[in-house]
Structure 1
Amino acid sequence: MAVAVKGSITVEGQEITITNPDKPLWPDMGITKRIYLEKLAVLSPYLLRYCRDRLLTVIRYPHGVDGMSFYQKNAPEPLPPFVRTAVHEKITYITLQGLPDLLWLGNLAALEFHPSLHYAGSTLPCEWMIDLDPSREVEPRIMEAASIVGQVLRSLGLLSVPKTSGATGVQIIVPVHPGVTFEELRRIGHFVGRFVTEKHPDLFTLERLKKNRGDRIYFDYLQHYGGKTLAAPYTPRARPQATVSTPLLWEEVERNVSPLDFHLLNIEERLRSIGDLIEQLPPQPVEAIITQLS
């Protein structure tokens, strides 16, 4: 897809207005809105997989990452006819369906995509996500922490996929069968979190208040809740380096890769070579652990 000039483009039969295609969005990386929309089109088969039919919150940066920003939960008006919505707790959320919706949001300078952890109209999680949240802006131990959690999950018979948040943290994703509840997954999360904090008290904490964490990494199992959001796999992030939330191989975690290694200008090559690591992992037998913890 090429976005050449100001005007409109037709995508999958839908006309989308494009404004200010030469506006810098990530100036340090030379990424204009035109380039961003082209990269969104590349990311769309992967990003949409984890946003489609979920309640979507976006973060918009009308003047690029160096300018002001705002969270948008309520769908803006007027809406194009192809954009679908769902009401949840009196908020009218966008529920992404396809590339036209994604590019329409991209033109509005939506630079980050934060979907709910469940589908619109459902109370059940789509997957299990553990959020490892550093207390420091630069945390050289984040991959060490992810590796420890991955090893504990493996000891429980669960395979998982780590992903960079695209910012400072790491999420660990465990695919699950439909029917498992948020409460059950939080129970396992608390069990694993308590174990790693007892084994590595200088590295992990379960303390919710940031001011009380010191320099420890917060093992956030409570974020896994109906209505909560986390940065979607493959969402861009509004960081100067145009980083992308990227699933990783465990070997990369062991090599202590940097989240800065994965950004809008190189993600296409990575996806072409290794594909979507999350999709490649089948649902894991969390039910057996839930039964043991009951």
Structure 2
Amino acid sequence: MEHRLVHVDGKELKISNPDKRLFPQLSKWEFILAYYRLAPYLLPYCRNRALTTIRFPDGVEGKSFYQKNAPSHRPDWIETVNDGDIEYVMLNNAPTLVWLANLACVELHVSFNTVHEPMKPTELVFDLDPSVPGFPRVVEAALMIRELLLQLGLDGIVKTSGASGLQIYLPLEPRYTYDETRKVGKFIAHYFAKRQPALITVERSVNKRGDKIYFDYLQHWRNKTLIAPYSIRAVPEATVSTPLSWEELTPALSPKQFTCANIFDRLEQKGDLFAEALRKKVRLDEILQFIDRNRL
């Protein structure tokens, strides 16, 4: 069986079937190289977090499965963390990323908290998903939410999911509990569902949403995950979950336009637009006090 030996930061890895087609336009080797090049941008947002992957051993047009537990055949240098009955991989370095890519772990989903603060998330995330094809209404909803955030003295960082939606991050110091962040997420989601009922819904059932944008505040919780910034998505175009500037949110925007084929030119031109998430933190004290005061 064909394989290729590579050395990554002092670790030797055997890449199996490098010429195997994982995407219509990407071999497994090209996919691994893409993740290796994305490592400097992706790793800061995955480090010391529980990782869930979606594996596609026969390519993205084949069957897939979720993997939470670390494979038993892993190298001894792979870092893991136990949470209940699950032993999660921690994606803390480039060799681990290449090892995961060799297993055809296409999508990388990480927890909202680090292992150091298991009950306190480092961000509050608003996940916006269309119920029917089309992206302009997702953009419209995101811009409305940002306008409210600015009025509240807050601001978020936005990225594509890489699939069909947008995600707005409020970076936090790990000082708020999941109960507190859920309280804020629920308040803002229901606020828009009531004031923009033709555009935004909190209805979980897809069949009952019509053409509305689903504001998913329930996904933000302990032991739940979200697609990592700069993770590749398992779609034929090999899209990448890509941070954006707010000025890029126009009706012409599409998450399909950011792919493995062009993400590196974008990073060279614009840098890591998500890096601010590691530096600039917001405080939720005032909005929590408002919610409690008004019993919302």
Which of 18, 24, 30 pairs up with 2:15? 18
Aligned partners of 2:135 and 2:254 also within 8 Å: no
Distance 1:285 1:273 in 2: 31
More deviation in 262-271 or 252-261? 252-261
Q: TM-score, normalised by structure 2?
A: 0.93
Residue 146 of structure 2 aligns to which amino acid in structure 1? G
Which of 121, 128, 149 pairs up with 2:145? 149
CA RMSD, aligned part only? Answer: 1.4
Query: What residue in structure 2 maps to residue 259 of structure 1?
Result: 255
Aligned partners of 1:117 and 1:226 also within 8 Å: yes
More deviation in 211-220 or 67-76? 211-220
Q: How many aligned residue pairs are there?
A: 288
Residue 293 of structure 1 aligns to which amino acid in structure 2? I
Aligned partners of 1:157 and 1:285 also within 8 Å: no
More deviation in 92-101 or 113-122? 113-122
Which of 162, 172, 179 pairs up with 1:166? 162
Query: What residue in structure 2 maps to residue 247 of structure 1?
Result: 243
Deviations 1:64-113 (A, max 9, x none): 11111111111112110110111112011101110000000001111000
Deviations 1:192-225 (A, max 9, x none): 1122112211110111222222221111111110
- Runs of 5+ consecutive residues of structure 2 not aligned to the other structure: none
Is 1:189 aligned to 2:195, yes or no?
A: no
Shift of 1:124: 0.8
Shift of 1:21: 0.8
Residue 14 of structure 2 aligns to which amino acid in structure 1? T
Distance 1:287 1:20 in 2: 52
Residue 18 of structure 1 aligns to which amino acid in structure 2? I
Residue 99 of structure 1 aligns to which amino acid in structure 2? A
Aligned partners of 1:143 and 1:256 also within 8 Å: no
Shift of 1:244: 0.4
Shift of 1:119: 1.3
Query: What residue in structure 1 maps to residue 275 of structure 2?
Result: 279
Aligned partners of 1:22 and 1:34 also within 8 Å: yes
- Runs of 5+ consecutive residues of structure 1 not aligned to the other structure: none
Distance 1:117 1:86 in 2: 15
Aligned partners of 1:153 and 1:160 also within 8 Å: yes
Deviations 1:133-154 (A, max 9, x none): 2212444411111111111111
Which of 114, 118, 137 pairs up with 2:113? 118
Query: What residue in structure 1 maps to residue 89 of structure 2?
Result: 94
Distance 2:241 2:188 in 1: 24
Question: Could you say what secondary structure the match of 2:175 adopts?
Answer: coil
Deviations 1:155-196 (A, max 9, x none): 111111111100011110111122112211111112211221
Is 1:72 aligned to 2:96, yes or no?
A: no
Question: Could you say what secondary structure the match of 2:112 adopts?
Answer: strand
Aligned partners of 1:55 and 1:120 also within 8 Å: yes
Aligned partners of 2:124 and 2:185 also within 8 Å: no
Distance 1:136 1:214 in 2: 8
